[in-house]
Each structure stands twice: as C-alpha cells, then as structure tokens.
Amino acid sequence: MQFIGIDLHTNKFTCCYRTEKSSLTDPRDKRTETFDLTDAGLAAFYRTLTPDTYALVEATITTFSFARLFGHKVKEVVIANTYELEQISLARCNTDKIDADKLCRIIKMQVISGEQTVSPVTIPPKEIQDLRALFSTCRLLKKQLVQMKNRIHSLLKEQLYGFTQEEIFGKKDREMIRGLCEDPVLKFQVNLLLDQLERSEADIETLKARILVAAAPFMAQIDILTSMKGISVFIAIAIIADIIDVRRFKNSKKFASYLRSAPKVANSNTSNTVRGTNKKGRKLCSTLLTQSLNHVLNASPKLRAWYEKLSEYKKAGLVRTGLRRRVLGEVYQMLKKGEYHYARDPAKHQAKMMAYKNFLESQALLTKSA
C-alpha cells in the first residue's frame, strides 16, 4: 500500500509519499514532491499513483474538483475537514512539506489501525455544488444590501433626518427620500446608494430564480419538506443543498449536529460543560430556518407551549437553538421515511408546490423562446 498526504494550493500541490513498511520516525522512508497544477504537472503526479494508494487532502475551495481528477486512479481519497486538523494549523513551523508529511502520517495510521481519526468530507455531486455556489453568491449580495441600507441610514441621521431603518428598507418611501435631500453631496451619495441598492435587489431576485430552477431535480425531497408548516420551497432547497442525502446520517442527533443545531457537551468527573455548535457542519439552512420559526410555532400549540415554558428560565438564543433542533429532528424523520409531515395542511402544501411547478414551467417557456 502507498499513502500520500497532499498539501493543495491554488497553482501547485506538495505530496509526501510513504509505504506500508516505511517508518514514521526515519526521514529516509518518505519522499516529497511538488507538482504544478497544470496538465504536465498532473500527468507527472498520475504516474506516481497506484491502485492501492490512499490519499489525504485538506478541504479547500479547490479540493472537490482536484479530488475528482484522480479519485478513480487510487484506492481512496479522503478529504479532511479543516477543523479536524488542528495539529497542522496550530503548529509553530508550517511549510508545504511539513504539512504534507503530517497528512501522510494521519492517513497511514488511520488505514493501518482501522480507527477513524479524521472523518471524510463527502464530495457533493455537481447539482449540489451548483446550489451551494448560488446560495453563497446570494448570501454575499444580501450582506452588501444590508451594508448599503445602513450607510444610507447613517447619512440621513448625520443631517438630522429622522427616518427609521424600516422606512429605508421599504420601497415606497425611496422616491420621497431622493427628493428630500437638499445638500448636493448628500443627495449624490443617497441617490448613488439607492441606485445600487435597487440593482442589488434585482440581482438577488434573479439569483433566487436561478436557485429554484437548479433545484428542479430534487422535486421529490422538496415536496416532502414543504409539507411542514414554516418550510418554504426556498428553505427546503437550502436543506437539500446542505445535507446532500439524508442517508449519510445515522440518526437525528448527528443530522442536527451537522446543521449547527446541537451544542457540544464535555463531561469531566461530575461536571458537564455545554459548548458551541459543531463547526464542522453547515449553517445555511439553519440560518434560513431560524427566520421562519415563528411560523412553526404558530402552527403547533404544543410546540408553542414548550417554547414559552423554556423561555422563562433559559436564554432566548438557547431556546431558539433547541426549537430549531426539534424542527430538524422532524425534518430528518420525514426525509428518512419519505413521508409528509403529520400536521400537513393539504391545501397550503399543494399551493406551495403548484406555485413552484408553475414557476418552473414559466422558466422553461422563457428559455425556449430565448
């Protein structure tokens, strides 16, 4: 067997090679090579691979595409989550060769011992990667949107215009705000920012439409998820983009933990310490789901009573995290069993799906006419 630790960068990558019989302490029992991320460099790298090779590479923005290039030429490619490689990030001396050597040691010990020390990151299919990329761009534009609104609010406050942020966020008062500013410098800035604001809002709507179209292959899962009150088609797509496939998770606890909704608990002697959520997971759908929790509470009197009782003696953030965890537990069971939510409203659920299908049909007609 051959083991490779790969330290991947944008334009090159460094590999450390060891065999099954090589010593971890003798520096002569390892080989290190650096390849350019070009056709010639990849061809040279491929010649070093064997069918019984195990490779370990740290997850970066280029890792998934890189792993697909040679995954079929080796026994296994393990993509490690950055948060599980603290021994590399916390080291005093970091070079490409040292990092590649540490990765090589980890994959060799893991394979030979049979004990999993680094859990692999699942390589998502192309459809999921496209959805994640679209959501990331949409989230970026929304952040810029908030920054522009805050800047407009700040400019108006400087000149003693007493507008609230809600009045600026709404579209009906914008024309009035444009005409209100008498100072030429203030008027120039406000008009510039409002123009950019409206362009960004249009871009976000275009992105949302593209996300809805890209999610069409997951119609069956969307149909199940939207049967739960409070989960829109957009949130359902975010859940699918995060989890890829519900069968990856053994139980609802691991499901909620991956979606940043289950805190870590440390036990030592008689003390229990509750820590933050799992940083190795994804947070997109949890962020969107938090915004719709009021709809979930309104739909379930039992859940509302539970929420209000806990709110009497626990912090609001903890209670909302607990509520989100309960919602995700139900989401897990729905997807695992392939069943609609027990409190489904058939008329409203059908209306959600019909609106989505009509939208997809309209987009298909636009594409054909173009």
pLDDT value of residue 366: 63
Give the SS3 label for residue 162: coil
Whether residue 235 has pLDDT greater than 90: yes
Least confident range from 111-120, 325-334, 353-362: namely: 111-120
pLDDT of residue 43 exceeding 80: yes
Is residue 101 domain-shared with residue 132, that is, in the same domain? no
Q: Residues 6 or more apart from 209 whose CB is under 8 A from it?
A: 359, 363
pLDDT of residue 297: 83
pLDDT of residue 285: 85
Is the confidence at residue 135, as pLDDT, over 90? yes
Determine the average pLDDT of the residues in 159-167. 76
Which residues does 333 contact at the CB level (< 8 Å), separation at least 6? 252, 339
Percent of the chain with pLDDT strictly greater than 70: 90
What average pLDDT does the segment 187-214 reach? 93
Token pair 């695992």 is found at 336
Does the residue 361 lie in any domain? no
pLDDT averaged over every residue in the chain? 86
241 lies in the same domain as 204? no
pLDDT of residue 368: 61
Residue 365 pLDDT exceeds 70? no
Q: Mean pLDDT across the stretch 2-31?
A: 86
Pair (156, 29) in one structural domain: no
17 and 36, same domain (yes or no) = yes
Residue 181's φ and ψ, nearest 5 degrees, are: -75, 120
Question: 309 pLDDT exceeds 70?
Answer: yes
Tell me: the pLDDT tens digits for 60-75? 888 888 999 999 999 9
DSSP 199-248: HHHHHHHHHHHHHHHHTGGGHHHHHHHTTSTT--HHHHHHHHHHHS-GGG
| Residue 286, pLDDT score | 84
Lowest model confidence (mean pLDDT) among 23-27, 56-60, 242-246, 321-325: 23-27
**Is 199 a domain residue?**
yes
38: pLDDT confidence band, cut at 50, 70 and 90? very high
Look at residues 85, 113, 141 and tell me which one is the last residue of a structural domain.
113
Residues 174 and 190: beta-carbon distance below 8 Å: no
Average pLDDT over residues 99-118: 87
What's the pLDDT at 267? 60
| Per-residue pLDDT, 45 | 95
Q: Using alpha carbons only, what angle is made at residue 265 by residues 260 and 271, rounded to the nearest 5 degrees?
A: 160
161/163 Cα distance (integer angstroms):
6
Whether 119 is in a domain gets the answer no
By three-state DSSP, how is residue 104 classified? Answer: helix
pLDDT at 30 over 80: yes
Helices 346-369, 184-214: crossing angle, 10 deg rounding:
100
Q: Of 113, 141, 165, which residue sits at a domain end?
A: 113
Residue 92 has pLDDT above 60, yes or no: no
Q: For 16, list phi and psi in degrees, rounded to 5.
A: -115, 125
Q: Tokens for 227?
A: 């049967």
Q: Do 231 and 287 fall into the same domain?
A: yes
Same domain, 179 and 157: yes
Residue 323 is predicted with a pLDDT of 87
pLDDT-derived band at 274, boundaries 50, 70, 90: low
Pair (300, 343) in one structural domain: yes
Instruction: Report residue 36: phi and psi, to 5°.
Output: -80, 145
224 and 343 co-located in one domain: yes
**pLDDT on residue 179:** 80
The share of the chain scoring above pLDDT 90, in percent, equals 42
Q: What is the pLDDT of residue 164?
A: 75
**346: its two tokens:** 């058939």
Q: How many domains does the chain have?
A: 3
Q: Which domain holds residue 257?
A: 218-353
Same domain? For 208 and 229 the reply is: no
The model carries a pTM of 0.82
Same domain? 208 vs 223: no
335 domain-assigned: yes
The yes-or-no verdict on residue 282 having pLDDT over 80 is yes
Residues contacting 300, CB < 8 A, separation 6+: 229, 343
Give the sheet arrangement for strand 53-58, strand by strand. Answer: 31-36, 12-19, 2-8, 53-58, 76-80
Per-residue model confidence (pLDDT) at position 264: 64
Q: Are residues 259 and 347 in the same domain?
A: yes
Residues 336 and 292 occupy one common structural domain:
yes
Asked whether residue 246 carries a pLDDT value surpassing 80, the answer given is yes
Final residue in a domain of this structure, among 113, 137, 172: 113
CB-based contacts of 108, cutoff 8 Å, min separation 6: 3, 18, 20, 24, 54
